[in-house]
């Protein structure tokens, strides 16, 4: 009987691609914020911010959920990392997706970006859960740099 249990446990580990190390639950407790001084009216900066969000939202999981040109607000859900991965076992999937709320506020001469990863997620090196807090921090900083550059660009007339 113990041999059967051992084989079953080993088989389950092989099917799900898990190692003997348990995943760690991690989260980003402080949202990333970036305020950018930029020339332009609220309307001009709103258009730049909207174009920036459309450019970084490259898949169907990342969406603009709310936008209001009058108040200068754009809010969206962004897929920072991960995927839904079928296991091939009983139609199950592994979900390694990590989302963040992206909040952009603009007014005359300024734009503010806030990135807040939502909830906790699993981290386990060498698996599909290989995304930790320093990875998230690096990616949020890169998004902040990209946002700042987009806000500084001249508006092209067509």
| Residue 46 pLDDT | 97
| Residue 17 covered by a domain | no
Helix axes 133-152, 42-56, angle to 10 degrees: 140
The tally of domains found in the chain comes to 1
| Residue 14 pLDDT | 44
Angle at 80 between CA 53 and CA 137, to 5 degrees: 100
CA distance 125 to 118: 21
| Residue 2 pLDDT | 53
| Residue 92 pLDDT | 81
| Residue 101 covered by a domain | yes
| Residue 7 covered by a domain | no
| Residue 45 pLDDT | 96
| Residue 74 pLDDT | 98
| Residue 19 pLDDT | 46
The domain that holds 84 is classified in CATH as 3.30.530
| Residue 15 covered by a domain | no
| Residue 78 pLDDT | 95
| Residue 3 covered by a domain | no
E strand segments, 24-72: 24-26, 32-37, 63-68
Alpha carbon distances (Å) from 25 to 88, 119, 129: 25, 10, 10
| Residue 139 covered by a domain | yes
For residue 127, the enclosing domain spans 22-152
| Residue 158 covered by a domain | no
Contact partners, residue 8, CB within 8 Å, separation at least 6? none
pLDDT tens for the chain, residues 1 to 158: 454 444 444 444 444 444 456 778 888 889 999 999 999 999 999 999 999 999 999 888 899 999 999 999 999 999 999 888 887 777 788 888 899 999 999 999 999 999 999 988 888 888 878 888 999 999 999 999 999 999 998 877 65
| Residue 6 pLDDT | 44
């Amino acid at each position: 009987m113990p041999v059967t249990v051992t084989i079953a446990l080993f088989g389950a580990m092989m099917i799900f691609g898990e190692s003997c190390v348990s995943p760690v639950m991690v989260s980003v407790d402080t949202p990333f914020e970036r305020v950018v001084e930029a020339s332009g009216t609220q309307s001009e900066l709103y258009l730049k911010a909207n174009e920036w969000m459309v450019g970084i939202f490259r898949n169907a999981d990342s969406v603009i959920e709310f936008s209001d040109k009058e108040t200068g607000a754009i809010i969206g859900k962004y897929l920072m990392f991960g995927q839904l991965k079928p296991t091939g076992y009983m139609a199950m999937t592994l979900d390694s997706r990590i989302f963040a709320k992206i909040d952009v506020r603009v007014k005359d001469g300024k734009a503010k970006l806030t990135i807040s990863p939502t909830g906790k997620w699993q981290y386990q090196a060498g698996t599909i859960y290989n995304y930790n807090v320093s990875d998230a921090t690096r990616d949020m900083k890169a998004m902040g740099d990209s946002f700042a550059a987009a806000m500084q660009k001249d508006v092209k007339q067509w």
